[in-house]
């Protein structure tokens, strides 16, 4: 256990301590007690920057060493970038939430406990090297996210959103676990670094592609890629700090992290290249188109997040092409990976600030609906400035950081259309087109967020509250984030050397050490710049005409492809189907269940015998049959037929008695006097017991059914008889081995001083069986006594389903 | 040899007799007919077991003979009581 482990688990420990602080939290906001945790962690992770520029640091804490499951923590460039985002934005969100959530109205201890659990989970995901530990933290993010989305659990929509996100992300998590286990089967290792180091060995393995697809399913569900994006808009029912933290900056990037982390392993495959880029591109387009039709600010931001995650995913997919060139430094596709990492960072900054801005608007006006908002610029100038920076960065306009990463995105998309690999020359042309169209839509919804909220006329009669500027506590965190947006826009190479290049190097480990990339605001008149100019022109046109084409989009595209409806219907029909199936199978009739059991017996036994072609009867070992046997068999046959077809119970009972007595004669013939004696006594007692019970039963004829000759019952009973007969005949062949009875015959008197071999076996050689059969009799008699005597209710329920 | 033939004939006759009783059990118009047929079947079984023990030359089945006789009696009595009173064991003694 090292300091690094303590650092990861610290928020979790704090979460455990939060309930103990209730004495102090009556006076101060719980958030103040929690706030130092992310700040300390952020400062701690800042000290790692020089270390990761040089190499990786690794710490191991043995957990279950016999299964190779150890809590191994590795800090490299990518992990550090994520850890800084998690702790940095975590600190800002905690600070923001102190002013956002009211002390007396909310259950703050719950909120901060969930938030701290989430922080540990997220740090664990990005820092773990062990697949199983990674999966553990992965599920912990799902669970804590579930708790945070359902924070206002008295609202129906919150519960729905929490359940939906849980279903989707846990589905993906389980798929990913399957992928991890396949990886372990192929490489016999749980360490990501070790697996990547042996990556070349498993490419030819036929399990390679299944493992890749399963892990990608996990990444796509978590990062809200099409068609698993449906949970993210519903997760907006969470408090706004949660949306800002989980559903824009950190958790939804866990899937991005997984894709980036496994790029060196899987990216050699064309399947990876196409799946990741095309799913990313589809998400990018679908998210941006859908965002333009929403009227709730948070919903717009949710679809915008989906779209931007798709953008990063596309870049990662395209960047996979770089692995196919020998000298990584020369290939232009490394720039795609760099752009992905760069945009990852930029998106976290501007999207975090935008969510906080929306929270402020909601907090100060009482609504998030853009149809009610407008003209807030003069009332909330600071908020408007932050929103201006955030939305223009998101739209990809200079001089903000979004412009830089969007330019690099366009460049990579143009580059990939020239790629001479995986048949990209045919379909690769689609990527820049999709990128450009979604760029236009991104521009439109970004403008919608800003101008519909802050410009135009103020409509005070539509607002639940009288709007005013937010307190400084709410404004400070988004100001810090917006400052980053501007700073990186002006000095784009500020964090290159320290953060982004180490991250790129950990995604592409083969990259040479002297790799560096220079980002500049003005890089000449390139095709990417022309694309941006086109985006602005077409975007402005579309924004001006928004109200004309919005309904067309809704009716012609998004109504027809409603994945949310598909989810709702599939859940509904799954429940309905399960209910109906259960109702159909579980009839409540014992006879139905008997049919199932006996039918299964016939099918399984006959199936096995047919499959093994076991129908070889050995006639040599059969004993000869005497006339007495025939006569007795005839008696038994007659009594059996009589029992089945008899009309009254007493006749059945008398025939049953006859049957038992005849069987005892069979024991006599087979020279088993003890069995014959016991059989006679037991038969008599049973008959008397039947008579006892019959006194309480209604007349037989009352419930009599005419036995149909060809019903399921008849078929099944005949089938069971035939199966059992065949089984007995097949099993009768005793030629395999000698019987053990020779030993008993030889030793019954010598060893056990008894001449009756049966009794010696019962009480001496195998006395244990007798002991427990005695116990069975004791239990039966006590049970009967209890059932007869113990009457807790006056009348028992006759229906078992009641 | 003669003994064996005689025993076989005896067994055959008892078998036929058992079948006839069985016919009575199945058909017998009243329950009492059936019960008496069952009782007689028991007696037949006593005889058959006795003949079989002679045939097998063993005394191991003499217990069985006694027991069948005993149980046939008990069975018949309980049936008789059931037919008479509708129940086998009385809960209270009625004087």
∠ Cα A503 A504 A507 (to 5°): 90
Does A668 contact B49 at a Cβ distance shorter than 8 Å? yes
Q: B61 at the A interface (CB within 8 A)?
A: yes
In angstroms, the CA A748 to CA A796 distance is: 52
Number of cross-chain residue pairs from A and B with Cβ atoms under 8 Å apart:
93
Distance set, CA B29 to CA A451, B25, B37 (Å): 102, 9, 12
Q: A679 at the B interface (CB within 8 A)?
A: no
Other beta carbons within 10 angstroms of residue A545's beta carbon come to 11
| Residues in chain A closer than 8 A to B45 (CB atoms) | 661, 664-665
Does B75 contact A627 at a Cβ distance shorter than 8 Å? no
pLDDT (0 to 100) of residue A699: 58
Task: Report the gap between the CA of A612 and the closest CA in chain B (Å).
Answer: 42
Task: Report the gap between the CA of B86 and the closest CA in chain A (Å).
Answer: 6
Does A692 contact B42 at a Cβ distance shorter than 8 Å? no
| Residues in chain B closer than 8 A to A642 (CB atoms) | 25-26
User: Which is nearest to A318 in space by CA: A408, A254, A253?
Assistant: A408
Q: A661 at the B interface (CB within 8 A)?
A: yes
CA dihedral (A418, A419, A425, A430) positive or negative: negative
Distance set, CA A439 to CA A228, A308, A434 (Å): 22, 10, 8
Q: Are residues A76 and A502 in contact, defined by beta-carbon separation less than 8 angstroms?
A: yes
Does A680 contact B71 at a Cβ distance shorter than 8 Å? yes
Q: A627 at the B interface (CB within 8 A)?
A: yes
* H helix runs in A227-269, sequence order: 231-234, 240-244, 254-266
Weakest mean pLDDT among A16-25, A445-454, A570-579: A16-25
pLDDT (0 to 100) of residue A240: 92
Does A680 contact B34 at a Cβ distance shorter than 8 Å? no
Q: What is the mean pLDDT of residues A732-756?
A: 81
| Residues in chain B closer than 8 A to A669 (CB atoms) | 52
The backbone torsions φ and ψ at residue A617, rounded to the nearest 5 degrees and listed phi first, read -90, 130
User: Which is nearest to A667 in space by CA: B48, B72, B18?
Assistant: B48
Which residue of B4, B8, B12, B15 to mutate against A (max A Cβ within 10 Å)? Answer: B15
The backbone torsions φ and ψ at residue A509, rounded to the nearest 5 degrees and listed phi first, read -65, -20
Does B86 contact A687 at a Cβ distance shorter than 8 Å? no
| Residues in chain B closer than 8 A to A627 (CB atoms) | 8, 11-12
Percent of chain A past pLDDT 90, that is, above it, reads 41
Task: Report the gap between the CA of B59 and the closest CA in chain A (Å).
Answer: 10
What would the pLDDT profile of A547-569 be if each residue is shown by its tens digit? 788 777 777 777 777 788 888 89
pLDDT (0 to 100) of residue A24: 72
pLDDT (0 to 100) of residue A424: 63
Does B61 contact A642 at a Cβ distance shorter than 8 Å? no
Find the CB nearest B38 among A642, A658, A688: A658
Query: What is the band of A175 on the pLDDT scale with cuts at 50, 70, 90?
Result: very high
What would the pLDDT profile of A327-337 be if each residue is shown by its tens digit? 666 667 788 88
HSE value, Cβ hemisphere, 13 Å, CA-based, for A379: 21
> Omega before A227 cis (within 30°)?
yes
Q: A635 at the B interface (CB within 8 A)?
A: yes
Quick check: A323 pLDDT over 80? no
* 3-state DSSP assignment of residue A69: strand
pLDDT (0 to 100) of residue A800: 47
| Residues in chain A closer than 8 A to B69 (CB atoms) | none
What would the pLDDT profile of A680-716 be if each residue is shown by its tens digit? 889 888 888 887 777 676 655 545 555 556 678 888 9
In angstroms, the CA A335 to CA A342 distance is: 10
Q: B9 at the A interface (CB within 8 A)?
A: no
In angstroms, the CA A151 to CA A57 distance is: 37
Task: Report the gap between the CA of A622 and the closest CA in chain B (Å).
Answer: 21
Mean of the per-residue pLDDT values of chain A = 86
Task: Report the gap between the CA of B55 and the closest CA in chain A (Å).
Answer: 10
Could you say which DSSP state residue A191 is in?
B
Chain B residue at shortest CA distance from A658: B38
Does B64 contact A677 at a Cβ distance shorter than 8 Å? yes
Find the CB nearest A635 among B22, B31, B86: B22
Which residue of B67, B84, B90 to mutate against A (max A Cβ within 10 Å)? Answer: B67
What would the pLDDT profile of A133-174 be if each residue is shown by its tens digit? 999 999 999 999 999 999 999 999 999 999 999 999 999 999
User: Which is nearest to A452 in space by CA: A362, A371, A529?
Assistant: A371
> Omega before A399 cis (within 30°)?
yes
Higher pLDDT, A227 or A558: A227
What would the pLDDT profile of A771-797 be if each residue is shown by its tens digit? 999 999 999 999 999 988 887 776 555
Does A655 contact B35 at a Cβ distance shorter than 8 Å? no
Does B25 contact A655 at a Cβ distance shorter than 8 Å? yes
Task: Report the gap between the CA of B46 and the closest CA in chain A (Å).
Answer: 10
Task: Report the gap between the CA of A764 and the closest CA in chain B (Å).
Answer: 21
Task: Report the gap between the CA of B61 and the closest CA in chain A (Å).
Answer: 6
Task: Report the gap between the CA of A579 and the closest CA in chain B (Å).
Answer: 47
Tokens matching residue B63: 């217990």
Does B87 contact A692 at a Cβ distance shorter than 8 Å? yes
pLDDT (0 to 100) of residue A796: 53
pLDDT (0 to 100) of residue A794: 60
pLDDT (0 to 100) of residue A423: 67
Quick check: B68 pLDDT over 80? yes
Does B41 contact A658 at a Cβ distance shorter than 8 Å? yes
Find the CB nearest A657 among B38, B56, B61: B38
Q: Are residues A443 and A535 in contact, defined by beta-carbon separation less than 8 angstroms?
A: yes
Tokens matching residue A717: 């009973």
Does A676 contact B61 at a Cβ distance shorter than 8 Å? yes
Does B74 contact A664 at a Cβ distance shorter than 8 Å? no
Tokens matching residue A725: 């007969």
Does B26 contact A650 at a Cβ distance shorter than 8 Å? no
SS (H, E, C) A436-474: HHHHHHHHHHHHHHHHHHHCCCCCHHHCCCCCCCCCHHH
Quick check: A205 pLDDT over 80? yes
Q: A677 at the B interface (CB within 8 A)?
A: yes
Other beta carbons within 10 angstroms of residue A540's beta carbon come to 14
Task: Report the gap between the CA of A675 and the closest CA in chain B (Å).
Answer: 10
In angstroms, the CA A158 to CA A274 distance is: 36
Model confidence, pTM: 0.83
């Amino acid at each position: 256990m090292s300091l690094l482990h303590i650092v990861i688990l610290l928020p979790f420990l704090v979460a455990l301590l939060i309930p103990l602080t209730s004495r102090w939290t009556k006076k101060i906001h719980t958030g103040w007690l929690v706030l130092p945790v992310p700040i300390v962690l952020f400062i701690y992770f800042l000290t790692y920057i020089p270390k990761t520029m040089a190499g990786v640091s690794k710490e191991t804490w043995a957990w279950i060493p016999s299964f190779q499951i150890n809590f191994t923590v590795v800090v490299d460039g990518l992990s550090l970038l994520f850890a800084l985002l998690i702790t940095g934005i975590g600190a800002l969100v905690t600070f923001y939430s102190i002013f956002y959530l009211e002390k007396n109205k909310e259950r703050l201890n719950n909120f901060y406990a969930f938030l701290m659990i989430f922080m540990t989970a997220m740090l664990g995901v990005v820092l773990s090297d062990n697949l199983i530990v990674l999966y553990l933290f992965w599920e912990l993010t799902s669970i804590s996210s579930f708790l945070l989305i359902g924070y206002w659990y008295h609202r129906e929509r919150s519960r729905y959103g929490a359940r939906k996100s849980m279903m989707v992300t846990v589905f993906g998590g389980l798929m990913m676990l399957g992928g991890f286990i396949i990886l372990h089967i192929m490489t016999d290792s749980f360490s990501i670094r070790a697996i990547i180091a042996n990556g070349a060995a498993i490419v030819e393995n036929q399990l390679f592609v299944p493992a890749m697809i399963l892990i990608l399913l996990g990444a796509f569900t978590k990062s809200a890629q099409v068609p698993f994006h449906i949970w993210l808009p519903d997760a907006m029912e969470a408090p706004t700090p949660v949306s800002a933290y989980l559903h824009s900056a950190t958790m939804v990037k866990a899937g991005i992290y997984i894709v980036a982390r496994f790029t060196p392993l899987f990216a050699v495959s064309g399947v990876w290249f196409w799946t990741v880029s095309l799913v990313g591109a589809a998400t990018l387009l679908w998210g941006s188109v859908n965002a333009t039709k929403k009227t709730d600010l948070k919903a717009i931001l949710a679809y915008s997040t989906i779209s931007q995650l798709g953008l990063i995913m596309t870049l990662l997919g395209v960047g996979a092409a770089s692995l196919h060139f020998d000298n990584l430094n020369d290939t232009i596709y490394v720039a795609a990976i760099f752009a992905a990492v760069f945009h990852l960072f930029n998106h976290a900054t501007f999207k975090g600030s935008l969510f906080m801005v929306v929270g402020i608007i909601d907090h100060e006006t009482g609504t998030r609906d853009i149809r009610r908002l407008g003209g807030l610029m003069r009332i909330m100038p600071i908020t408007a400035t932050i929103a201006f920076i955030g939305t223009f960065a998101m739209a990809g306009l200079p001089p903000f950081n979004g412009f830089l990463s969007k330019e690099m995105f366009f460049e990579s998309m143009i580059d990939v259309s020239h790629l001479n690999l995986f048949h990209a020359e045919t379909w690769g042309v689609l990527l820049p087109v999709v990128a450009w169209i979604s760029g236009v839509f991104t521009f439109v919804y970004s403008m919608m967020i800003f101008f519909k909220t802050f410009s135009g006329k103020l409509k005070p009669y539509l607002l639940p509250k009288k709007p005013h500027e937010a307190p400084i506590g709410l404004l400070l965190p988004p100001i810090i984030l917006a400052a980053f947006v501007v700073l990186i826009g002006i000095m784009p190479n500020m964090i290159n050397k320290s953060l982004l290049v180490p991250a790129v190097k950990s995604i592409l480990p083969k990259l040479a050490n002297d790799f560096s990339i220079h980002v500049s605001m003005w890089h000449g008149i390139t095709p990417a710049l022309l694309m941006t100019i086109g985006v602005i022109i077409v975007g402005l046109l579309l924004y001006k005409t928004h109200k004309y084409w919005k309904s067309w989009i809704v009716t012609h595209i998004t109504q027809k492809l409603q994945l949310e409806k598909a989810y709702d219907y599939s859940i509904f029909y799954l429940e309905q189907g399960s209910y109906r199936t259960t109702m159909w199978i579980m009839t409540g009739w014992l006879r139905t269940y008997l049919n199932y059991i006996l039918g299964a017996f016939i099918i399984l036994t006959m199936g096995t015998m047919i499959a093994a072609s076991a129908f070889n009867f050995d006639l040599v070992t059969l004993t000869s049959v005497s006339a007495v046997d025939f006569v007795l068999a005839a008696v038994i046959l007659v009594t059996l037929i009589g029992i089945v077809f008899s009309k009254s119970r007493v006749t059945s009972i008398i025939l049953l008695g006859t049957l038992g007595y005849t069987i005892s004669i069979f024991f006599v013939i087979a020279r088993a006097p003890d069995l014959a004696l016991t059989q006679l006594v037991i038969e008599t007692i049973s008959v008397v017991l039947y008579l006892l019970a019959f006194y309480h039963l209604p007349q037989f004829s009352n419930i009599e059914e005419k036995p149909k000759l060809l019903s399921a019952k008849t078929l099944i009973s005949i089938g069971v008889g035939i199966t059992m007969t065949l089984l007995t005949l097949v099993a009768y062949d005793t030629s395999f081995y000698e019987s053990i009875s020779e030993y008993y015959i030889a030793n019954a008197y010598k060893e056990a001083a008894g001449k009756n071999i049966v009794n010696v076996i019962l009480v001496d050689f195998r006395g244990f069986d007798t002991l427990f059969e005695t116990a069975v009799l004791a239990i039966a008699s006590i049970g009967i006594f209890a059932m007869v005597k113990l009457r807790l209710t006056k009348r028992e329920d006759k229906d078992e389903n009641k | 040899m003669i003994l064996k033939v005689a025993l076989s004939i005896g067994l055959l006759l008892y078998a036929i007799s058992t079948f006839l009783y069985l016919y009575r059990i199945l058909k017998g118009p009243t329950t009492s007919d059936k019960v008496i047929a069952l009782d007689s079947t028991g007696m037949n079984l006593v005889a058959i077991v006795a003949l079989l023990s002679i045939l097998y030359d063993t005394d191991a089945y003499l217990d069985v003979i006694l027991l069948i006789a005993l149980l046939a009696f008990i069975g018949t009595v309980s049936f008789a009581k059931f037919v008479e009173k509708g129940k086998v064991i009385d809960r209270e003694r009625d004087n």
